[in-house]
Amino acid sequence: MIRVLSVASECAPLVKTGGLADVVGALPAALTTQGVDMRVLLPGYPAVRAAAADFDCVFEMPDLFGGPARLLAGQAAGLQLFVLAAPHLYDRDGGPYLDANGQDWADNDARFAALSWMGAQIGAEGAGGWQPDVVHAHDWQAGLTPVYLKARGVDLPTVMTVHNIAFHGVMPAERMADLALPDWAFHPDGMEYYGQASALKAGLMYAWKVTTVSPTYARELTTPEFGEGLDGVIRARGADVTGILNGIDEAAWNPAADPNIAAFKVPRGKVKTRRALLDELGLPEGDGPLCVVVSRMTAQKGLDLLLEALPGLLARGGRLALLGSGEPALEEAWRAADARHEGVAVRIGYDEAMSHRLIAGGDAILVPSRFEPCGLTQLYGLRYGTVPVVARTGGLADTVIDANPAALAAGVATGIQFAPVTAGALAMALDRLCDLHAQPTLFARMQRNGMRAPVGWGDSAAVYAALYAGMLPET
């Protein structure tokens, strides 16, 4: 049995802002079948502390970057967890990263340095009678873990996974001393980034292995267009970088047993689910496809492009339902679209149960992202027979088989890809969608293809397990 500590800032179902949480929450169960005992270290946000109310205290620190901290261990939500209880860092209203006004917490550097420090502590000395063979850090919030291990002289195998390279965790160089980070790490081949210190770069430089969440994203990160200033670092790591495709929790996303919807079979039951969704949203029936979007509302997600392409979809009898929140300007623009078009329904915020109903009831799910490391919503769409329309980038390119003439003739198409990522190309993709939707037999075949597509963790869990095993000494 290989013991792995997963260090992360969020984990479904306890705390979630995006796909990172889904991955961190799903991996432990997926890896169990591969002979891996994975435990997750999380910050003690209020919701996490509530779930850990009966956990045992297995380590105490009188002063961890400004206040006392305790490490709690126990089981919740089907996961073996370590929780860093540090009230001065985590016991506050707001989200994991942002305050109630939507601004970064001013002490995020200390909050996530503390998480990384504790990850290194568990890696070096163990906790509660358990010690990992490998430490697996996720995104910049855990990126300092390999540095803290190295500073302690501990040569423990480490993996750094980049879920989104756009966020670097940058701090002033002078903060390093406050956070017990070694001077020797601040140089161009270490964590120095244009005169500042980057937690993400630290993880990329000092982890034994680096993974990203899809093979195409791994290749994209070697280019200036997608590398966000770290493409040279990714190129330098060479063969140490692997793209491993994310999967989804097939138990949580199971159309035959989803408590949020009635069980259905495509296309018969899909018709009922679609009708119920239209009624819930107050949308009139149309001749075209009912398209759904479940997304953070940011420039990355391409929702401004969808606004430009929207009139063409509506003109062909299409309908659009959107669930999400994010940038105020985009929220306002979509509220205006809702008010202007009877065929558009917008719900600002996030509602997990509604996301299931949208994906179950829609004919198509739209993911027009400018970049997308992996993406999970297109996988949910495939699972529920909701045809994905996706930009040809990152994991979207790796998981959706475009309905080009060859794929249609072979009967293997599962969705529609478009490139370049522009409003014009998206509009043409939506036209293709409408054409396919107007051919019920062909469209139903695509839906069934999607529902048979592999979207779980089986293959990827085996790759992770092999990666961990490959870093351990032969016995």
Q: pLDDT (tens digit, 9 = 90+) per residue, 412-467?
A: 999 999 999 999 999 999 999 999 999 999 999 999 999 999 999 999 999 999 99
Quick one: pLDDT band at residue 107, thresholds 50, 70, 90?
Answer: very high
Quick one: pLDDT band at residue 268, thresholds 50, 70, 90?
Answer: confident
Residues 46-52: what's their mean pLDDT? 96
Residues 172-190: what's their mean pLDDT? 97
* Structural contact between residues 435 and 406, judged by C-beta atoms closer than 8 angstroms: no
Please give the pLDDT value at position 293.
98
Q: Which domains does the chain have, with CATH numbers?
A: 2-247+458-471 (3.40.50.2000), 268-452 (3.40.50.2000)
Q: What is the pTM of this model?
A: 0.92
pLDDT higher than threshold 90 for residue 350: no
* Structural contact between residues 77 and 51, judged by C-beta atoms closer than 8 angstroms: yes
Q: Where are the alpha helices (DSSP H) in 126-241?
A: 145-151, 175-178, 199-206, 215-220, 224-227, 231-237
Please give the pLDDT value at position 252.
87
Please give the pLDDT value at position 102.
82
Quick one: pLDDT band at residue 353, thresholds 50, 70, 90?
Answer: very high
CB-based burial, 75-95: b 16+ in 10 Å, e otherwise: ebeebebbbbbbebbbeeeee
| CA-only gyration radius of the chain, Å | 23
Give CA separation, 344 vs 296, 331, 335, 378, 470, in Å: 18, 14, 10, 21, 51
Beta-carbon contacts of 406 under 8 Å, excluding residues fewer than 6 positions away, are: none
Residues 61-74: what's their mean pLDDT? 98
Residues 23-38: what's their mean pLDDT? 95
Cα angle, residue 245 at apex, residues 455 and 293 outer, rounded to 5°:
60
Q: How far is residue 90's CA from residue 96's CA, in Å, rounded to a whole number?
A: 8
Please give the pLDDT value at position 475.
54
For tokens 């979509």, name the residue.
334
Q: How far is residue 384's CA from residue 18's CA, in Å, rounded to a whole number?
A: 20
126-173, pLDDT tens digit by residue? 999 999 999 999 999 999 999 999 999 999 999 999 999 999 999 999
Q: Which residues are annotated as a binding site for ADP-alpha-D-glucose?
A: 16
- Structure tokens given for 274: 């679609």
Quick one: pLDDT band at residue 262, thresholds 50, 70, 90?
Answer: confident
Residues 331-335: what's their mean pLDDT? 98
Q: Which residues are annotated as a binding site?
A: 16
Q: What is the mean pLDDT of the chain?
A: 96
